[in-house]
Amino acid sequence: QVQLQESGPGLVKPSQTLSLTCTVSGGSVSSGSHYWSWIRQPAGKGLEWIGRIYSNENTNYNPSLKSRVTMSVDTSKNQVSLKLSSVTAADTAVYYCARDRPPAPGIFYYYYMDVWGKGTTVTVSS
Amino acid sequence: DIQMTQSPSSLSASVGDRVTITCRASQTISSYLNWYQQKPGKAPKLLIYAASTLQSGVPSRFSGSGSGTDFTLTISSLQPEDFATYSCQQSYSLPHSFGQGTKLEIK
């Protein structure tokens, strides 16, 4: 079955760019009607939807982060990536990637996230 | 943006209890509502999508209902493994926002 694994630096300095990769195994990043989403969760707080990317590189970003977020897909490596620029301490969180899919192929509504990576902790500190 | 508000924020219950968690959207979202369960240090797990469809492999004691702006997640008979945090998420319009979570604790 499909598995996701986030990777990247655990410590990023303020004002720098956070860069994470999500490697997809057991399936293709290009398959079906799937998007690939990024979600984050500060310690002790709720989940925040960062955005998502389709295999054709169509993206949707949370407006609250849009000016700082870039997502990309590398079909040759079966990976999706997240970049968040100009980070501050408020960006310290566990970052998850997830498969965002519809109930059936060929439809593009009722999306839900059914496969998640284990998450990676990113701390922003000098 | 659509705001999702869960109630209560925390809840104490006993094994065998019937528990209901509520999620309210700031505007109508039809049935575009998902529920997730999260245990400490773990990734969220999908329980229910499209408001009432049980994800494959999820026990039938979990059920979801509602449409429009008001939704509920019900656990018919709490089991020890159900003590966790539950979050709702709307996928009606972007950004696909989450509720703040409801922590279900053992009484």
Question: What is the reported pLDDT for B24?
Answer: 98
Residues within 8 A of B (CB atoms), A 40-69 only: 45-49, 51-52, 60-64
Sequential pLDDT tens for chain B (107 residues): 999 999 999 999 999 999 999 999 999 999 999 999 999 999 999 999 999 999 999 999 999 999 999 999 999 999 999 999 999 999 999 999 999 999 999 88
Confidence check: pLDDT of A103 > 90: no
Written as one string, the DSSP assignment of A102-123 is: -SSTT--SS-EEEEE---EEEE
Nearest Cβ partner for A46 among B50, B55, B98: B98
Question: What is the reported pLDDT for A94?
Answer: 98
Pair of tokens at residue A23: 């490697």
Question: What is the reported pLDDT for A98?
Answer: 98
Interface-testing mutation among B42, B91, B92, with chain A (most A C-beta atoms within 10 A):
B91
Interface-testing mutation among B3, B96, B98, B102, with chain A (most A C-beta atoms within 10 A):
B96
Q: Would you say B13 and B19 are in contact if contact means Cβ atoms under 8 Å apart?
A: yes
Instruction: Provide, as residue numbers in chain A, all residues whose Cβ is less than 8 Å from the Cβ of B55.
Output: 112, 114
pLDDT band for position A56 (cuts 50, 70, 90):
confident
Confidence check: pLDDT of A65 > 80: yes
A46–B101 CB contact, under 8 Å: yes
Q: What is the pLDDT of residues A16-34, one digit of tens each?
A: 999 999 999 999 998 778 8
